Amino acid sequence: MSALSNTKRPAQHRQRAAPCRQPYGRGAIRFPISRPRIAIIPPILPGRCPMALDSRQNSIGQPSREHRWRRLLARIGIGLLLLLVLTCITGATWNALMIRHYRLAYPAPGKTYRVDGHAMHMYCTGTGSPTLVLDAGLGDDCTVWAKVQPELSKTTQVCSYDRSGLGRSDTLSNDHDANTLADQLHALLEQAGIAKPFVLMGHSIAGVYLRAYATRYPHDLAGLVFVDGSTPDQMKRLPKEVMGSVPNFALMKWMTVLGVARATGQCPDIEPGLESERGWILSDACVPSIVAAGIGEFRDIDRSSDETRQSGPFGSLPILIFFRGPGRTRQKGRSSPLSAGRNESGFR
């Protein structure tokens, strides 16, 4: 036995685990000295010191107050974000359903023709020659001629149309400069079989588009009519304070997409005397693609001006100009999300 007791044990049996140096008292709950001391020690996890508690827990292993508040605020934030997303989806869906409802209930008069694989809308009334082709202002469609076209068509054939992306026309291209629009109009008139020569009549920014058409296709025309027509140098001559009133088109676009513009009553504004055209006008109101096309036309104003600055003179081509006197004010009429600020900038 003595021999066995003196035999040295292997080294691995003599090694002991290093004791935990962290005192038990750090996380213990103590009572006053007059009472027996009772220490409540949390369960010891393998590989951890007994009182090495998570910083997010208090002394008895429960979440701290600060951590509870953080979790509560995070849940509130996630809830608000989900509510915002749900509201946006609901608004966009409602706006799309309203557009579909109006367009099915009130189909546009006239016909559509294929131009570059896309549909372009034209509305012709009356008979006679030469044909008068009406071109609307910035972001407007053929409905703005609802009062003018019936009167003019008593003497000759009158055709109004929707430019690329406006009214009932598809978006043919992301370019909305004067030369591109002139080429698209030329192709539309060819598809519709409009007899040449014809007269082009343009309002506001369409005055610039008329110049481009007259330069590129002079033999198509019997005359030009400018109604408060814009000029290529108009933007340069406008005061800075006027240009500062131009609205935020990007904001308008998203307000239209999400249904905010329709919900706040910015779309349906029917001019007196056009009640019979109410459904047709409302079907083109607050349509995101139409707003985007109007923004594209405004974006390309400088490009259109550069393309037409050197246009003319047009020789013996008859030209008629209508303009409003400086002392007169414009009555409030039909408007759209693009109308705000357009009168102040000179493009209607």
Instruction: Examine residue 251 and state whether it is found in any structural domain, yes or no.
Output: yes
Instruction: Examine residue 7 and state whether it is found in any structural domain, yes or no.
Output: no
Q: Which tokens in the block code for residue 86?
A: 């749900």
Domains held by the chain: number: 1
pTM score: 0.69
Residue 48 has pLDDT above 70, yes or no: no
What is the CATH classification number for the domain harbouring 268? Answer: 3.40.50.1820
The residue that leads in pLDDT, 115 or 264, is 115
Q: Enumerate residues 6+ apart whose C-beta is below 8 A from 262.
A: 94, 95, 98, 256, 285, 286
Q: What is the pLDDT of residue 195?
A: 94
Segment 119-159, tens digit of pLDDT: 999 999 999 999 999 999 998 889 889 889 999 999 999 99
Instruction: Examine residue 78 and state whether it is found in any structural domain, yes or no.
Output: no
Segment 207-219, tens digit of pLDDT: 999 999 999 999 9
Q: Mean pLDDT, the chain, as a whole number?
A: 78
Instruction: Examine residue 161 and state whether it is found in any structural domain, yes or no.
Output: yes
Segment 303-347, tens digit of pLDDT: 999 999 988 788 889 999 998 866 554 444 443 333 333 333 344
Residue 134 sits in which domain range? 123-325+332-345
Instruction: Examine residue 5 and state whether it is found in any structural domain, yes or no.
Output: no
